[in-house]
Amino acid sequence: MALRILFADDSPAIRQSVIGLLHSAGDLTVLTAADGADAVTLAREATPDLVILDYAMPGMNGINAAQLIHRDAPALPMILLTASAAEYLIVAALRAGMRGYVLKRDAPEDLVRAIYTVLNGVTFISPGASRVLYERYLPAPSLS
């Protein structure tokens, strides 16, 4: 049975690129939405196995959409796919119930791995984003 993934991004080019990447990864069915509000509606109606949301979408961003989806389906795994590695956005995504954070520049290498990681109940953060958290929360090593 195909894994059902809901992917929301306002860019048709990004949607097509990610759909191609996901279809090459195996037996996956990809449902798409062009904004956060449509993603929330599709998550309720289509009951996907996993949701991937862009952050910057018109009307409702990916974090706000994730909060609503998480409220209705707290066990549904979600991943934020974004261009930003800003600390506040990483933290906001995790607080909204997302279990994955993938930078768009890393998507070809990381997105499929992130999908299967979060489906197994483990949080996945792209290396570029995890570096931001590492530098923020771990003290610099003492050289003395």
Residue 143 in domain: no
Determine the pLDDT at residue 78. 98
Residues spanned by the domain of 124:
3-137
CA dihedral sign of residues 134, 109, 114, 5: positive
The total of structural domains in the chain comes to: 1
Residue 130 in domain: yes
Residue 133 in domain: yes
pLDDT tens digits for 15-61? 999 999 998 888 889 999 999 999 999 999 999 999 999 999 999 99
Q: What is the CATH number of the domain that holds 45?
A: 3.40.50.2300
Residue 144 in domain: no
pLDDT tens digits for 49-100? 999 999 999 999 999 999 999 999 999 999 999 999 999 999 999 999 999 9
pLDDT tens digits for 17-28? 999 999 888 888
**Crossing angle (nearest 10°) for helices 107-119 and 12-24:** 60
Residue 142 in domain: no
Residue 19 in domain: yes
Q: Structure pTM?
A: 0.91
